[in-house]
Structure 1
């Protein structure tokens, strides 16, 4: 059985290199995605590479990494599988940075076999990461992912530090998440956010909840609980740098939240295309 890329984008993926080829990403032609690494060497139960470069063909969107390290201490996951997952992770990161699948990649199938990681505990680190497009860069000093459980559900711990985005003033500088994916080999998965913590400016964001991703937002479901500290300070910090619609949205969100000490809390739901905030339906439906 296999799980689709939409799930991998959430899991961020299990990494490593070699030139993209039919054996690495059989579902994606070079007209959609290219991928290469250099300075690779085998490590105990894993692989390392000095440099990795990937791009969505024809988009001017690139991913460059100056240090890739992957291992599976249990020894269950083969290096060829780690290589393929690394390429999938690169493709997912590029697509997320673009804000969606590029036209050249439409209707291109890409799946991974979840059975390949059963029983393993693969972990990976990307160092000095740059996602770039003309006029917009996002850099991450270090990003890591660890599969702490693969049977019967997939549980992942993800961390990112030294994050900076030239276009997104609310982008956290630090991020950590503990996620569990249930129903990995079924038509519909459930992602449980056991814990989410992020730091942006002088504010901290904490969250938990569940997401059931569907083919569209209207067929998806979510039950999320989010808290942000020092919201007023955060609004003041971004007032002169963020787009006016971002400031307005955060101001409205603050008014809809409830206070608990220095934190503003929201219960956010999605069902049947209707979004609710603290049980109040918003006056629009998502497609």
Structure 2
């Protein structure tokens, strides 16, 4: 059985989204470190891509995992914001004409529409590199060895063996004929890598032992797969106004997805099974795991 979702979870999710938004609003002010002031257009495009709302589920997972394990909340905020910068950069690039070619994101014009394609590419590049600037910021209270570990793991999750590699496989799925194993592998990289990192990052911030980090990584792996299945279901069943971006694009491109192979009902069942498995993986933490377990259920049942 998967848990229900109560107001404590929704209130905490909203509070984390506000906190991350405020943190990024401050940090994306335009000048950091020893560098020059940021060009005004670039700064505006970065802010457009990073401060346009969203549920901030990845930062929530970082913060709540760290909190559950007794980690420093200020250090967790830096790790969470860095991860969100990576996520936002990926969305800016994902929306480009050469990728998914979307005009709307979260109910607003995408960065390349609000600005132009070249500025969108550079804004994504800037958010990518800014993530690592945040992690290594002297104001970040995490110990140096923790910062180094987070930098390496975030780079791996974001790169050729993680999100970027998954994006390549996702594009290939539009012209190939992937099987179920291929699709699940692609989704574990494209979407799952950053969600997996969110959970392990929270444990690293808490300076947890290797077994605990591995447990949280496993939890993140399962909810990452559930997240992408839920995304595929939304693309197949929801309307664009509800989701805040175009829907029905996977079918329009004949893209291989779990839904296209197995249908809507089987996809929903697989999604719920992943959530049940994920919740069981952290059940021994008792009530301390309630919010993370509800996050898993929320990921599977979300409507936008």
Q: Which has the higher strand share?
A: 1
Structure 1 length-normalised TM = 0.26
Q: Which has the higher helix share?
A: 2
Structure 2 length-normalised TM = 0.25
Higher-RCO chain (CA-CA 8 Å, sequence separation at least 6): 2
Which structure: larger Rg? 1
